[in-house]
Amino acid sequence: MRRFPGTALAIAIVVCGARPCGAAPRASEASCRQAANGLISLLDAKNDDTALYRDTYAVVIDTCGPSAAKAQPKPGPPPPARDACHDLAAALVDLIEDGKMNTAAFAKARSDFALACAPR
C-alpha cells in the first residue's frame, strides 16, 4: 500500500474545518434562546426526566455560549436547589437577549444551570 504523508491531516482539515473533529458546533443566539425557553417550559411542566429535556439540556450546555469544560461541582458547597432551575434557565434567556451569550457571565450562568438542573 502506498502512503502519502499528510493525507490524513488534509482529510481531517477538510472534514472538520477549523474546529477539532468531534467538537460540537456553536449554536446561534436564536436557537439557544429557543432551547433555553424550552427548558423553562419542560421544567414548569415537571418534565425534566424526559428524552426531550435531556436533548434540550445537552444543546444548551454543549453548544450555547463560549466553549468550556463541563461544569464540575466544587467539593463542599451544595449545588443550588432544584426548584431554582426555572430562574437559572430564565437567567440564560436574559443574558442571550442582552447580547451576552458569548461572555464569561453567560458561561458562569450556564455552569450554574448545569450543576443544579441536570436531567434526572
Share of the chain above pLDDT 70, in %: 72
Asked if residue 113 lies in contact with residue 89, where contact means CB atoms within 8 angstroms, the answer is yes
Taking 3-state DSSP, the helix, strand and coil percentages for the chain, each rounded to the nearest 5, stand at 55, 0, 45
C-alpha span between 7 and 62 (Å, rounded) = 30
Residue 4 has pLDDT above 80, yes or no: no
Grid cell locating 21: 473533529
pLDDT at 45: 95
* Backbone φ, ψ for residue 94 (5° rounding): -60, -45
Confidence label for 71 from pLDDT (cuts 50, 70 and 90): low
Instruction: Pull the grid cell for residue 12.
Output: 481531517
* Tens-place pLDDT, residues 95-115: 999 999 999 999 999 999 999
Going from N- to C-terminal start, the domains of the chain cover: 25-116
CA dist 51 and 100 (Å) reads 28
21 three-class SS: coil
pLDDT at 85 over 90: yes
pLDDT for residue 79:
67
pLDDT at 76 over 90: no
